[in-house]
Structure 1
Amino acid sequence: MDKISHRFLQVNGLKLHVAEIGSEPAPAMIFLHGFPEIWYTWRHQMIAVANAGFRAIAPDYRGYGLSDPPAEPDKASYDDFVIDIVSILDRLAISKVFVIAKDFGVWVAYSFVILHQEKVAGIVTLGTAFMPPAAYKHHFALPEGFYVARWQEPGRAENDFGRFDVKTVVRNIYILFSRSEMPIADENQEIMDLVEPSTPLPSWFTEEDLATYAALYEKSGFQTALQVPYRSSRLNLGSIEQVPIVKAPTMVIIGEEDYALKVPGVDEYIRSGEVKKYVPNLETIYVPNGSHFVHEQFPDHVNQLILTFLDHNKYAY
Structure 2
Amino acid sequence: MEKIQHSEVEVKGLKLHVAEIGTGSKAVLFLHGFPEIWYTWRHQMIALANAGYRAIAFDFRGYGLSQQPAEPEKETMYDLVDEIVGLLDALDITKAFLVGKDFGAIPAYLTAALHPERVGAIITLGVPFLLPGPSAVKNHLLPKGFYVTRWQEPGRAEADFGRFPVKSVIRNIYTLFSKSEVPVAADDQEIMDLFNPSTPLPPWFSEEDLATYASLYEKSGFRYALQVPYRSLNVETGSGELKVTNPALLIMGEKDYVFKFPGMEDYIRGGAVKNVVPDLEITYIPEGSHFVHEQIPDKVNQLIIEFIDKQSI
TM-score range, shorter chain: over 0.9
Inter-CA distance 193–207: structure 2 relative to 1 (3 Å threshold):
same
Do structure 1's residue 208 and structure 2's residue 208 form an aligned pair?
yes
The CA RMSD measured in Å over matched residues stands at 1.5
- Name the amino acid aligned to 2:213: Y
Q: CA deviation at 1:238?
A: 3.9
Distance in 1, Cα, partners of 2:12 & 2:130: 28
For residues 123 and 243 of structure 2, the distance between their equivalents in structure 1, rounded to whole angstroms, comes to 16
Q: What amino acid sits opposite 1:14 in the alignment?
A: L
Shift of residue 232, structure 1, vs aligned partner: 1.2
What is the DSSP-based 3-state SS (H/G/I as helix, E as strand, rest coil) of the residue aligned with 1:136?
Answer: coil
Stretches of structure 1 lacking an aligned partner (at least 5 in a row): none
Q: Name the amino acid aligned to 1:274.
A: A
TM (norm. structure 2) is 0.96
Alignment of 1:21-100 (within 5 A): 21-23=21-23, 26-100=25-99
Please report how far the alpha carbon of residue 108 of structure 1 lies from its aligned counterpart in structure 2 after TM superposition.
Answer: 1.0
Deviation at 1:76, TM superposition (A): 2.4
Q: Which moves more between the two structures, 192-201 or 139-148?
A: 139-148
Contact 2:20 2:56 in 1 (8 A): yes
Partner SS, residue 125 of structure 1: strand
Q: Which region of structure 1 is more displaced relative to structure 2, 72-81 or 302-311?
A: 72-81
Distance in 2 (alpha carbons) for counterparts of 1:214 and 1:173: 12
Residue type matched to 1:253 in 2?
I
In structure 1, the residue matched to 2:121 is: 122
- For the 8 Å contact 1:133–1:236, the answer to whether it is kept is yes
| Correspondence for 1:303 | 301
Distance 2:212 2:280 in 1: 34
> Where does residue 290 of structure 1 map in the other structure?
288
CA displacement at 1:74 relative to structure 2: 2.1
Deviations 1:149-200 (A, max 9, x none): 0000000000000110000000000001101111000011000000011110
- Is the CA contact 2:139–2:148 (under 8 Å) kept in the aligned structure 1? no
Offset, 1:114 = 0.9
Equivalence for 1:270: 268
Give 1:201 deviation, angstroms: 0.4
**1:236 aligns to 2:237 (yes or no):** yes
Measured at CA, do residues 235 and 125 of structure 1 come closer, stay the same or move farther in structure 2, by a change above 3 Å? farther
Amino acid aligned to 1:261: F
For 1:282, give the aligned amino acid: L
- Checking the alignment, whether the CA contact within 8 Å between 1:20 and 1:55 is kept in structure 2 is yes
Aligned pairs, number = 311
What does 1:211-230 align with in structure 2 at a 5 Å threshold?
A: 211-230=211-230
Inter-partner Cα distance in structure 2 for 1:135 and 1:159: 26
Of all paired residues, the percent bearing the same amino acid is 61
Cα offset for 1:136?
A: 3.1
The answer to whether the 8 A contact 1:60-1:67 is kept is yes
Work out the CA distance in 1 between the residues paired with 2:42 and 2:140.
Answer: 34
CA distance in 2, matches of 1:276, 1:80: 26
- CA deviations 1:236-286 (Å, max 9, x no partner) are 3644xxx23211111000000000101111011111110111111111011
2:94 maps to amino acid: S
> 2:139, 2:146 within 8 Å by CA — same for their partners in 1?
no
Matched AA of 1:245 = K
1:82 is aligned with what amino acid?
Answer: V
Distance 1:252 1:119, change over 3 A: same
Determine whether 1:281 maps to 2:279.
Answer: yes
Distance 1:235 1:307, change over 3 A: farther
TM-score (normalised: structure 1): 0.95
Q: 1:110-139, CA deviations, whole angstroms, 9 ceiling, x for partnerless residues?
A: 111111001111010000111334683596
Cα distance in 1 for residues equivalent to 2:26 and 2:140: 40
Assess, with a 3 A threshold, how the Cα gap between structure 1 residues 139 and 74 changes in structure 2: closer, same or farther.
closer
Instruction: Tell me the residue number matched to 1:246.
Output: 244
Whole-angstrom distance in 1 between the partners of 2:298 and 2:270? 29
Secondary structure of the 1:30 match is: strand
- CA 1:231–1:65 in structure 2 vs 1: closer, same or farther (change >3 Å)? same
8 A contact 1:127–1:260 mirrored in 2: yes
SS in structure 2 of the partner of residue 284 of structure 1: strand
Structure 1 residues 277 and 192: alpha-carbon distance in aligned structure 2, compared to 1, 3 A threshold = same
